Chain A
C-alpha cells in the first residue's frame, strides 16, 4: 500500500508537473508577499527597539502572542472581516510572520556588546552609523535566523489558505476526493521542498554572515 502510494505519487508528479508548478508559484507568491510585508514591519521596529535597548516586554510579548495565535482562527477572523480572497490570507500570514523576525532582530541588536557600541560612539559615529555599520553586521546572523524561522512557518501555513480560497498547493491538499492521496502527497512534497529550499538559502546566508563576522575562526 505504501509502496504503491509512492509510485502513484511520482506518477502524479510526472503527469501533472505543469499544474504543480503553477500551484507552487501561487503558494510562493502568497508566502513571499506576506514574508516581505512582515519583514518591512518587523525589521525596522526590531532594529530601532534593539538599538534603544527598549521594549523588552514588547519583544517577548509579541513572540508569545504570535506563537499562540492559531492560524485557522486567524484566517477565519480575516475572512469574517475582509471577506474571502488574497488579502485575508496575506494579512493572516503577515500577522504570523512578524513575531519571529521582530523578536530575533530585537535580541540580535540588543545583545551586541555594549563596549563595542561605546567604542563606535567614542570614534564619532552617528547613531544611524552605529546601527548600520556596527550593530547590524554583528547581529546579522540572528536576524537572518529569525527570517528563516518565519519563512518556514509562513510557507507551511500558506497551504492552510487553500482551505479558504487562497489557491496554491493547498487547493490540491484540501481536495483529496479530486486529486487522490497521491496528489495530496505530491503537493505536500512540493510545499516541503519550497520550505526547505527557502530555509536552506536563508541558512546559507546566515552561515556566510557568521563567517564574515569571525574570519579567523
Chain B
C-alpha cells in the first residue's frame, strides 16, 4: 500500500537529497537544481500521467452522466434517486473508495479511473439536468409551434441552450478531478500524487519535491480552468459571464 518506494524496483532507495548542493543537503524550501535534474525522470512523466488520468476520467464521466441526465430529465421520477445516487458517490471519501475497489480491480490505473469517474458524475449530472431544465417554457412552446418534433426540440433547442451550464460542469469536474487524482498515489505511484506522497514519506519531508509536484498540480488545475473558461467564452459568446 505504501510500498511505492520499493515497488519501483531499480529506483533509488536513498533519498534524493543526499547529494549535490548545499540547498539539497539542508533540505531547503525550493532547490531549482533538483527540479532541473529530475524534470525528465520524475516530474514530467508524473505530469503526463496526471493529464491522461484526468482526460480519461472526465470523458468517461461525461458520457455516463449524460446518459443518466437524459433519463432523469425525460423520466422525472428517476431524477431524485439518480441525483441522490451521485450525491452519495460524491460523499464517499476518496481514499476509502480507492481501497474498496482494490479487491475487484487490483492495484491498477483502472481502479483509479473508476473512482475518479464516480466523483465527476455528481457535478456533471446536476449541471446537465439543471441546464436542460432551465430552458424557458415559452421557448419550448415556440419550438412546438414551429412544428419541431420532441427529438428535434431536444437536439436543436434544449441542448444548445444548456451548453453554458454543461461547460461550467466540465470546468468544475476537470479541476476537481485534477485535485482528487493526487490522492490516488496513496494507492499506486501514479500521477503527480506520486512525488507528493514520496516527499511526505521521507523522514524529514523533502520540501523541494513536495513544492515542485504540488505546485505543478495546482498549475495544471489553474491552466485547465483558464483554458476551459476561454472555451466557454468562445462557444457561448451570448453568455458574457457564463
Contact = CB atoms under 8 A, between A and B. Distances in A.
A188 B210 CA distance: 28
Given A72-B193, A76-B199, A199 B91 contact: yes
A72 B91 contact: no
A160 B199 contact: no
B188 interface: no
Contacts of A191: 91-93, 96
Interface string A148-161: 00001001100110
Interface stretch (A43-51, A122-130, A172-180): A172-180
The dominant DSSP class at the A interface is helix
A120 interface: no
A64 B225 contact: yes
B70 to A, nearest CB: 25
Contact of A70 (B95, B100, B207, B214): B214
A159 B93 contact: yes
B100 A181 contact: yes
A151 to B, nearest CB: 11
B205 to A, nearest CB: 5
Contacts of A68: 175, 178-179, 218, 221-222, 225
A184 interface: yes
Contact of A196 (B88, B172, B183): B88
Contacts of B199: 76
A34 B179 CA distance: 19
B16 interface: no
Contacts of B94: 156, 160
Give the interface size class of chain B: 35 or more
Nearest to A79: B205
Interface string B46-57: 000000000000
Nearest to B228: A64
Contact of A152 (B91, B95, B218): B91
A18 interface: no
A196 B88 CA distance: 8
B217 interface: yes
A159 B95 contact: yes
A71 interface: yes
B186 interface: yes
A202 interface: no
Contacts of B210: 73, 76-77, 80
A80 B95 contact: no
A121 interface: no
A173 B95 CA distance: 7
Interface of B: 1, 87-88, 90-97, 99-100, 103, 172, 175-176, 178-180, 182-183, 185-186, 192-193, 196-197, 199-200, 205, 207, 210-211, 213-215, 217-218, 221-222, 225
10 contacts: A67-B176, A69-B179, A71-B182, A72-B214, A77-B211, A79-B205, A80-B211, A176-B1, A181-B103, A199-B91
Interface of A: 1, 5, 64-65, 67-74, 76-77, 79-80, 152, 155-156, 159-160, 162-164, 169-170, 173-174, 176-177, 181, 184-185, 187-188, 191-192, 195-196, 199
